[in-house]
Structure 1
Amino acid sequence: MKNLWEVLARQRDYRLVLSAGLISLTGDWILRIGLAYYVYDLTGSTLASGGLLLSSFLPLFLLGSLAGVFVDRWDRRRTMIVTNLLHALVLLPLLLVHDGGTIWVVYLVVLAQSCLQQFFRPAEQALVPLLVETRQLVTANALNSQAGDIARLIGAALGGVLAATGGIPLLAMADAATYLAAMGLLFAVRHRGNKIVVEKTTGAVQRIKTEWIEGLRICVGGAALRLVFVFGLVTGVGEGAMSTLFAPFVSTELGGSGTTYGLISSSQAVGGIVGGLIAAAVGSRFSAAKMWGVGAVLFGLIDLVMFCYPLVWHSVAPAFVCMILVGVPGAFLIAGMMTVLQRLTGDASRGRVFGALFAAEGLAVLVGTVAAGVLGDLVGVIPVLVFQGLGFFVGGLAVLARRRLLIDAMADQEEPLTAAGQPEVLPLGSSDAR
């Protein structure tokens, strides 16, 4: 608990960034849940609802990796402030949506917001290591994970209520207000990013291409980073299958209703909040690699129990218990994995690495979604979902088996310090830049 108190009480800038993220994520969940409800209510079409998912996923794997190039060029704090402002502005067209004939506006807004998110997420993840001490990084990432679960719990509950009360215009205003509030908190952050020098020996397009390729080379250049990406790809496919087949699982295998599905889905956030608090409190006692591996193994085991128990026991109660329990190792997994990735990369390339990882995971989720839609009918819901659990379980074992590799790689990638004790800033393209 001491480390948790140190991070929250003494790291002012991190506290502001954490609060800003909690507020804006709550708005995201309000809009996401509210739009899903209202679009279907306006159109009565599941295809129209599916268009929302497509609009949000396309920029993830089409733009994510390239956006990381600009995140590494720009000041991360300023990038987060500008994207929050743009988020609020692009919501304004939703005020014009009142019937099914203008539903295309919703798709354009969701697409624009997803594009902006590809700049915000890598900037946020790249900024966190600069706001806390290295020994506090696991705690900070655990708190970030917990904030996401709190936002999901609050925002999901408010989204349906606001959609039913005031429709899409009210959803837009509520979400815009959270972005403006988050922007105000980010303005108060005192940290200023170091200016990264970019050699202008070639044209702008060629420089962007060079930096993008360099970022991809960094992602696959070492065994440790390759392990991170392979884990993200395998588990991303599983998560895509989960998002596609969990509703049919609750309906056909558990005999639950739509209300049951909603309650089971939201119950994971409860475990995530508890798990995030535990991970934040004890995270400094364990290596980030161990937290990641153990969290993934337990996450996979609990999922396997949840997906297989209906074969011998017809009840929805164990599903609630499993979804709450899985949130705890899930918090450890996320905190450990994010910390490992942050410590494996230098500040000059961190945005590109995170952008590439998010893009790879987005593509994997899309592959898993399509594959699950086909295989679910061919081999059944449970066998496909078992793959999701096995992916985390086997992936966690692989992380634990290569834990020494990860620890050594993180030690090798510690940034050189100047006499003042601050990270040395190196120009992009330098042979010493990491």
Structure 2
Amino acid sequence: MNAQTTRKSPLLPAFRSRNYRLFFAGQGISLIGSWMTQLATIWLVYHLTNNPFMLGVVGFTSQIPNFFLTPLGGVFVDRFSRHRILIGTQIIAMIQSLALAVLTFTGMIDIWHIIALSLLQGFNNAFDGPARQAFVIELVERRDDVANVIAINSTMFNGARLIGPAIGGLLIARVGAGYCFLIDGLSYIAVIIALLAMKIKPWKTTVTNGNPLQNLKEGFVYAFSFPPIRAILLLIAFFSFFGMQYTVIAPIFAEEILKGSAETLGFLMAASGVGALASGIHLATRQTVMGLGKLIVSGLAIAGIALIAFSLSRLLPLSLLAMLFVGLGVIFVIAGSNTVLQTILEEEKRGRILSLYTMSFLGIIPFGNLVAGALAHQIGAPYTLIIDGIACIFASIYFAKQLPELRKMVLAIYERKGILATAKR
């Protein structure tokens, strides 16, 4: 019976769940708008200030709340309904995008408006990030589908990353950045409708004892006392600092180095989306979580080499090819690490550990953005990315040496949870 069920299981088993299908549809539409807004924001900042450092400042303010507030957000997520939290965060995100649209259309937009609204976005994301990652596990009917859900989410995110910047670049060049913000704001309606249409079981909190600070301490102790979780969090923090700096200084390459326009920036970001989408599809169609450690190591090396190649390129086709491999490597690292983490952590601490993951990922990016903006201003954007690429390559070598010991610990958990048996079937 089990063998027959296994043979008949669909290629993308996560879509067996109605709630996840709704989530996928709503998020797919909204994420395209989000990527359009991200592109429009950095383009607008650069043209308002003509200062690479201000790109870093805006990137810093939009993400820094993740560093300080996300752990508390994780405690909040383990105590209250993740479904209701997400409805609230989506409404706030919609208001933020529509405010940007109104300010841009009326000609009142100034750099301090962008910084203030980016800060609001950061506060909102500190709760939205851990809630979203923990909630998506509730949407699948079978625990075996968790790895597939994470991979599909990555594919969806990067499909939007491919489409959003391409549309955004064209819109900015033709009608202005305001329309990107407007479309993004309206796209949140799809997410809110999808969330309201879901049939969610009554919420049962996984945290009943202790005060929030005690719960927070428990999460930290659990995460950093177990080597595989600690290694993932430190690896993601390092990669977020060095490997993601290219996103904030991309306008410099598009306009000054490649002598292009907003469309060029859109094409560059879309090229990274193509690579990211390819890696997401690969992860989504994998039949097992086994071997993800090697994939993460490979992703670090690929991203590092591609960043160096992109920094040295002065031809658009070569730059697009390099960005494709940057996107490929980034998702192998980010989605691969997320998948391993989701499959080894304890359920009652899921919200808190995923909040630490979000802090290591999104919370460290602002520091990288700030340093990237400062370095690009002092030594130039190409040299900045060369440093980033070298750092990623060295990280891949270091993590590869740690992999055998970490793998033994992870396999012990997989065996206890029955994941090894599922993989063998």
Same fold (TM over 0.5): yes
1:281-317: CA deviation from partner (whole Å, max 9, x where unpaired) = 2x22441xx22x2222322333344355699998665
The answer for the alignment partner of 1:192 in structure 2 is: 201
Q: Report the CA distance shift for 1:242/1:50 in structure 2 as closer, same or farther (over 3 A).
A: closer
TM-score (norm 1): 0.80
The answer for the alignment partner of 2:25 in structure 1 is: 19
Q: Please tell me the residue identity of whatever aligns with 2:394.
A: L
Residue 160 of structure 1 pairs with residue 160 of structure 2: no
The answer for the alignment partner of 1:85 in structure 2 is: 91
Q: Report the CA distance shift for 1:101/1:312 in structure 2 as closer, same or farther (over 3 A).
A: closer
For 1:43 and 1:10, how far apart are their aligned partners in 2? 49
1:89-134: CA deviation from partner (whole Å, max 9, x where unpaired) = 3444331443356543332222212211221221121122333323
CA contact (8 A) 2:73 2:355 kept: yes
CA contact (8 A) 2:300 2:393 kept: yes
Residue 131 of structure 1 pairs with residue 146 of structure 2: no
Residue 113 of structure 1 pairs with residue 115 of structure 2: no
Residue 386 of structure 1 pairs with residue 390 of structure 2: yes
CA contact (8 A) 1:35 1:163 kept: no
User: 1:343 Cα shift?
Assistant: 2.1
Comparing 51-60 with 373-382, greater Cα deviation is found at 373-382
Q: Any idea what SS the aligned residue of 1:157 has?
A: helix
Residue 235 of structure 1 pairs with residue 243 of structure 2: no
Q: Please tell me the residue identity of whatever aligns with 1:125.
A: Q
For 2:35 and 2:276, how far apart are their aligned partners in 1? 16
Q: Any idea what SS the aligned residue of 2:364 has?
A: helix
1:309-332: CA deviation from partner (whole Å, max 9, x where unpaired) = 699998665554343345445444
Q: Please tell me the residue identity of whatever aligns with 1:27.
A: G
Q: Report the CA distance shift for 1:350/1:150 in structure 2 as closer, same or farther (over 3 A).
A: same
Matches within 5 A, 1:277-426: 277-281=281-285, 283-287=286-290, 290-291=291-292, 293-306=293-306, 317-328=317-328, 330-371=330-371, 373-374=374-375, 377=379, 380-381=383-384, 382-399=386-403, 401-412=405-416
CA contact (8 A) 1:39 1:103 kept: yes
CA contact (8 A) 1:71 1:123 kept: yes
How many pairs does the alignment contain? 404
1:167-209: CA deviation from partner (whole Å, max 9, x where unpaired) = 56533331221111111011122232531165577xxxxx222
For 1:247 and 1:165, how far apart are their aligned partners in 2? 17
For 1:106 and 1:342, how far apart are their aligned partners in 2? 34
Query: How much identity, in percent, do the aligned residues show?
Result: 25
For 1:197 and 1:131, how far apart are their aligned partners in 2? 17
CA contact (8 A) 2:58 2:115 kept: yes
The answer for the alignment partner of 2:13 in structure 1 is: 7
User: 1:25 Cα shift?
Assistant: 1.5
1:341-382: CA deviation from partner (whole Å, max 9, x where unpaired) = 112223332111111222133453344445554498399443
User: 1:334 Cα shift?
Assistant: 3.5
CA contact (8 A) 2:43 2:251 kept: no
Q: Please tell me the residue identity of whatever aligns with 2:342.
A: Q
For 1:323 and 1:180, how far apart are their aligned partners in 2? 32
1:372-394: CA deviation from partner (whole Å, max 9, x where unpaired) = 54498399443442112332453
CA contact (8 A) 2:73 2:127 kept: yes
For 1:250 and 1:162, how far apart are their aligned partners in 2? 16
- Give the gaps of 5 or more residues in structure 2: 1-6, 420-425
For 1:63 and 1:122, how far apart are their aligned partners in 2? 11
The answer for the alignment partner of 1:270 in structure 2 is: 274
CA contact (8 A) 1:238 1:389 kept: no
Q: Report the CA distance shift for 1:200/1:224 in structure 2 as closer, same or farther (over 3 A).
A: closer
1:1-27: CA deviation from partner (whole Å, max 9, x where unpaired) = 975545254221112222222222112
Q: Any idea what SS the aligned residue of 2:287 has?
A: helix
Q: Any idea what SS the aligned residue of 2:348 has?
A: coil
Residue 173 of structure 1 pairs with residue 182 of structure 2: yes
TM-score (norm 2): 0.81
CA contact (8 A) 1:126 1:347 kept: no
Q: Please tell me the residue identity of whatever aligns with 1:257.
A: K
Residue 75 of structure 1 pairs with residue 81 of structure 2: yes
For 2:269 and 2:240, how far apart are their aligned partners in 1? 18
Comparing 242-251 with 191-200, greater Cα deviation is found at 242-251
CA contact (8 A) 1:302 1:325 kept: yes
For 2:333 and 2:214, how far apart are their aligned partners in 1? 33
For 2:403 and 2:348, how far apart are their aligned partners in 1? 26
User: 1:226 Cα shift?
Assistant: 1.0
For 1:45 and 1:310, how far apart are their aligned partners in 2? 21
The answer for the alignment partner of 1:204 in structure 2 is: none
CA contact (8 A) 1:43 1:100 kept: no
CA contact (8 A) 1:241 1:388 kept: no
Q: Please tell me the residue identity of whatever aligns with 1:15.
A: R
The answer for the alignment partner of 1:427 in structure 2 is: none
Q: Any idea what SS the aligned residue of 1:348 has?
A: helix
Matching residue within 154, 157, 164 for 1:145: 154
Q: Please tell me the residue identity of whatever aligns with 1:22.
A: G
Q: Report the CA distance shift for 1:227/1:410 in structure 2 as closer, same or farther (over 3 A).
A: farther
CA contact (8 A) 1:242 1:388 kept: no
CA contact (8 A) 1:240 1:367 kept: no
For 1:184 and 1:147, how far apart are their aligned partners in 2? 18
For 2:330 and 2:51, how far apart are their aligned partners in 1? 33
Q: Report the CA distance shift for 1:247/1:157 in structure 2 as closer, same or farther (over 3 A).
A: closer
- Give the gaps of 5 or more residues in structure 1: 202-206, 416-434
The answer for the alignment partner of 1:431 in structure 2 is: none
Q: Please tell me the residue identity of whatever aligns with 1:118.
A: A
User: 1:69 Cα shift?
Assistant: 1.0
Q: Any idea what SS the aligned residue of 2:243 has?
A: helix
Q: Report the CA distance shift for 1:96/1:324 in structure 2 as closer, same or farther (over 3 A).
A: closer
For 2:108 and 2:31, how far apart are their aligned partners in 1? 27
Q: Please tell me the residue identity of whatever aligns with 1:143.
A: I
